[in-house]
Amino acid sequence: MGDVTEIRRGTLQEQTFYEQVGGEETFRRLVHRFYEGVAEDPLLRPMYPEEDLGPAEERLVLFLIQYWGGPTTYGEKRGHPRLRMRHVPFTVNRAAHDAWLKHMRVAVDELGLSEEHEHVLWNYLTYAAQAMVNAPD
């Protein structure tokens, strides 16, 4: 996903979306800011049984890094993402969907990505949030 072909000094190079937006640091900033919002959210916080949100934060960072063309550490540690299956134990209704996107919107906005990169990332995040809905309101 997200490959862009560029010509530099006479050589053809492909750059992943992950590389284009700044690599690991960008995704760590995104997810850290997102979880700052989750930590204070009365609807979303109870979905995380751990006291420490750090492990959940790390899983999302590694997933997004892999999805956007970075290292495949997520898959090496956890196997196939199986996102819907992993979210089955949680009630993800429209309210949870909206809360998740609210915190992710703040996090995306604070990255300061180009309009094109922001659009591509946001489209994926809204698609993913909708795909996780598993319960009526």
Q: With bands split at pLDDT 50, 70 and 90, how would you rate the model's confidence at 103?
A: very high
For 22-132, give the CATH class.
Answer: mainly alpha
CB atoms within 10 A of CB 89: 10
Alpha-carbon gap, residue 63 to 76, rounded angstroms: 11
pLDDT-derived band at 7, boundaries 50, 70, 90: very low
pTM, two decimal places:
0.83
HSE at residue 46, side-chain half, CA atoms within 13 A, is 6
Q: How far is residue 35's CA from residue 53's CA, in Å, rounded to a whole number?
A: 7
Domain extent listing, the chain = 22-132
- The size of the chain, in residues, is 137
Residue 87 has pLDDT above 70, yes or no: no
Q: d(Cα 101, Cα 99) in Å, to the nearest integer?
A: 5
Q: What's the rounded mean pLDDT across residues 18-41? A: 97
| Average pLDDT score over the chain | 86
| pLDDT of 93 strictly over 80 | yes
The answer to whether residue 80 scores a pLDDT higher than 80 is: no
Predicted local distance difference test score (pLDDT) of residue 13: 57
